[in-house]
Amino acid sequence: MSASPPLPETILDVRDVSVAYGGHAVVRGLSFALRRGAIGCLLGPSGCGKTTVLRAIAGFEPVRSGEVRLKGEVVSAPARLVPPEKRRIGMVFQDYALFPHLTVAENVAFGLRGLARRERDARVAEFVESVGLAGHAHKYPHELSGGQQQRVALARALAPQPDLLLLDEPFSNLDIDLRERLGQDVREVIKRTDTTAVLVTHDQHEAFAIADEIGIMQDGRIEQWDTPYNLYHRPATRFIADFVGQGVLVPGAVLNGREVEIELGTLTGDIPRMCEIGCDRCGRGCQVDVLLRPDDIIHDDASALKAEVVRKAFRGADILYTLRLASGREVLALVPSHHNHAIGERIGIRLEADHIVAFPPAAGPDEARVAA
Amino acid sequence: MAFDFDVIARSLPYLWKGFRYTVELTAIAATGGIFFGTLLALARLSSVKPLALAAAGYVNLMRSIPLVLVIFWFFFLVPVLVQGITGAERPPQIGAERTAIITFIMFEAAYFCEIMRAGIQSIPKGQVYASYALGLTYGQTMRLVVLPQAFRNMIPVLLTQTVILFQDTSLVYVISATDFLGAASKVGQRDGRLVEMYTFVAVVYFVISVTLSHFVRRLQKRIAVIR
């Protein structure tokens, strides 16, 4: 039996970090680590402390407790703050922060001041080209479009070949079309240069498009650090279920270790341990709230189960229907758009979910509905 | 009474000498003022509190007293200070012209400090962070990122202040330095042609100031487009 290849070295190690402004803790006991070449993302609503974490990693913000290690070296700790310019980091800012008085080439060359001229010119040409701006090297930032400026910012941050690249809401100033495309491009450039990166954003599509691992933050803590797939399909808390994607929580009764009965039928699959919080064992009769994603409900004219169309949102390929069940409860269904039904019409639906996401029942009925 | 504008043509070489001194004083005071003003601005924005306070104190003092008073004050103070520094037996003869240069640099530095401070503060914080993230020190960040932009953004204001300075230099007349106005005044008194001389001086100041102001306005528009 051959030994498995060694894991890449840990580049970034954030251990139990807290940051406070005055007496107010903004980040509390936050930990995560990234290996070489990984793209991590801190995702959360505004005010959750994600940008503060990024600034602490960059060295712009001291930490109150815990430590930040870059390639094993402690760069931030309560009694230690290695200045940003000594950290070998690259940073892409929300407003790009390009130097308006310098050309594209001069911007990219800015972090290469230690290199010999010939080497520097070669590196600038390489990175300007790698972001697809070969013909624009002598333009000034104000002569470029927003997307092009964003690429310059990326090239500038990557050119010194930093140990770690930090991206602070890098696409929030771009229109949605461009965001998606640039997101893919950015991921490709980062992967090609084998750079380790941390992205901060409030936009989950952006996070999913770029990151390998995502930490969802709330109130200065990471609620769940996982792959995009697991965050969507295996949310650890109600907050994650609410924040990621769309869906509705509906009450259900556990039948046995693998089955839960809800209004739409019986769901089969492993019942995650979350329901243990609400009851001693996941035994018969235990009440849970089950997460139903819009793609868990299939439109089927042959089905005996009917629901009334309350709202519809046309999305091109699909229509997102809001359906009212017999009990009055509303659920979401994503249906191919050639199944075009009018509001008020009753359509046949069927449950088709291959796994169960369940939480202890919420205190009040208002909490049953999440994420419209 | 008849006007005799011929007096101007006759005394042109002397007036030209005075005018050259005015331009020279303006140029040196503006250059020196911007240089020291920038240092003062960096000091005022420094996180080292005593430095910031000292700079603020100096700037506020200079901005709170009339220029004529400063000119008189320095005219008598500078020689004494130089004596104190060099330890000479009696105050050295520095001369009105050189005293005026020192005075104007020190006085204008306070005004240029406030302009440069506004310029530095107008540069988004992100520029500084970006520079640090690229591995530059405070000194390099200021020299290569912040000051070039602050200076470029403030060029119209700096030039406007320089036009004002150009007019204010005529105050050296009070310590008998022979600037443009001083020269014209001396000729006018000698020949009894003060009206003609003052009219001529006014026209010259007007033409130069209006031309410069017009140029500043055009520059301002161009900079606004780039920014």
Is the domain of A266 the same as that of A210?
Answer: no
Of A192, A211, A239, the domain-final residue: A239
**Residue A164: domain span:** 10-239
**Structural domains in chain A (count):** 2
Instruction: Give the range with max mean pLDDT: A61-75, A280-294, A355-369.
Output: A61-75
Please state whether beta strands A73-77 and A65-70 pair in parallel, antiparallel, or not at all (unpaired).
antiparallel
Kindly state whether residue A215 falls inside one of the protein's structural domains: yes
At B86 the pLDDT is 83
- Does residue A119 or residue A22 have the better pLDDT? A119
The confidence score (pLDDT) of residue A273 equals 57
Query: Would you state the pLDDT for residue A3?
Result: 62
User: What does the angle CA A109 – CA A114 – CA A120 come to, to the nearest 5 degrees?
Assistant: 40
Mind giving me the DSSP string for A89-157?
Answer: EEEE-TT----TTS-HHHHHHGGGTTS-HHHHHHHHHHHHHHTT-GGGTTS-GGGS-HHHHHHHHHHHH
> Do A14 and A41 share a structural domain?
yes
Which residues of A lie closer than 8 Å to B, measured between beta carbons? 58-60, 83-86, 88-91, 93-95, 97-101, 110-111, 113, 140, 142, 156-157, 160, 166
* Residues A101 and A234 both lie in one domain: yes
How many other C-beta atoms are found inside a 10 Å radius of the C-beta of residue B31? 14
Cα B123 from Cα B145, distance rounded (Å): 9
- Chain B segment 120-159 residues within 8 A of A by beta carbon are 124, 126-127, 129-137, 140, 144-145, 148-149, 152
**Domain segments of chain B: what residues?**
6-226
Q: How confident is the model at residue A367 (pLDDT cuts 50, 70, 90)?
A: very low
- DSSP class per residue in A211-255: -SEEEEEETTEEEEEE-HHHHHHS-SSHHHHHHSS--EEEEEEEE
Q: From A221, A239, A257, give the residue that closes a domain.
A: A239
Searching chain B, which residue's CA lies closest to the CA of residue A111?
B134
Mutating which of A87, A101, A108 best tests the B interface, going by the most B Cβ atoms within 10 A? A101
CA distance A233 to chain B (A): 37
Encoding tokens for residue B164?
């004002």
Q: What is the CATH number of the domain that holds A304?
A: 2.40.50.140
Question: Does residue A292 share a domain with residue A196?
Answer: no
pLDDT attached to residue A282: 53
Q: Is the pLDDT of residue A368 over 50?
A: no
pTM metric for this prediction: 0.80
Of A332-336, A365-369, B119-123, the least confident: A365-369
Let me know if residue A329 belongs to a domain: yes
Select from B132, B135, B152 the Cβ nearest to the Cβ of A101. Answer: B152
- Pairing of the two strands A164-168 and A196-201: parallel
Q: Are residues A198 and A263 in the same domain?
A: no
Query: Within this chain, do residues A279 and A333 fall inside the same structural domain, yes or no?
Result: yes
Apex A294 CA angle, A288 and A296, nearest 5: 65
Distance, in Å, from the CA atom of A320 to the CA atom of A317, rounded to the nearest integer, reads 10
Residue A321 forms part of a structural domain = yes
One domain for residues A145 and A272: no
- The CATH homologous superfamily of the domain defined by B6-226: MetI-like (1.10.3720.10)
- Contact indicator for B130, A93 with CB cutoff of 8 Å: yes
A148 and A106 fall within a common domain: yes
- Residues B118, A197: Cα–Cα separation, whole Å: 36
Residue A92's domain is classified under what CATH number? 3.40.50.300
Chain A residue closest to B128 (CA)?
A97
pLDDT of residue A2: 56
Residues of chain B with pLDDT under 70: 1, 225-227
Strands A24-35, A10-21: pairing is: antiparallel
pLDDT of residue A87 exceeding 80: yes
Q: Are residues A17 and A115 in the same domain?
A: yes
Q: Last residue of some domain: A188, A209, A239?
A: A239
Q: Could you tell me if residue A5 is inside a domain?
A: no
Mean pLDDT of A14-38: 92
| pLDDT for res A224 | 94
Q: Is there a single domain that holds both residue A269 and residue A190?
A: no
Question: Same structural domain for residues A206 and A282?
Answer: no
Same domain for A188 and A305:
no
A79 within a domain of the structure (yes/no)? yes
Stretch A90-97: mean pLDDT: 92
Instruction: Decide the pairing of beta strands A248-256 and A287-292.
Output: antiparallel
Which of A110, A140, A143, A150 has the most B C-beta neighbours within 10 Å, making it the best mutation to test the interface with B? A110
**Residues of B with CB below 8 A from A86's CB?**
135
Residue A293 above 50 pLDDT? yes
Identify whether A4 is part of a domain. no
A2 inside domain: no
Measured distance CA(B163)–CA(A273) in Å, rounded:
78
Residue A372 banded pLDDT, cuts 50, 70, 90: very low
| Matching residue, tokens 């990234």 | A34
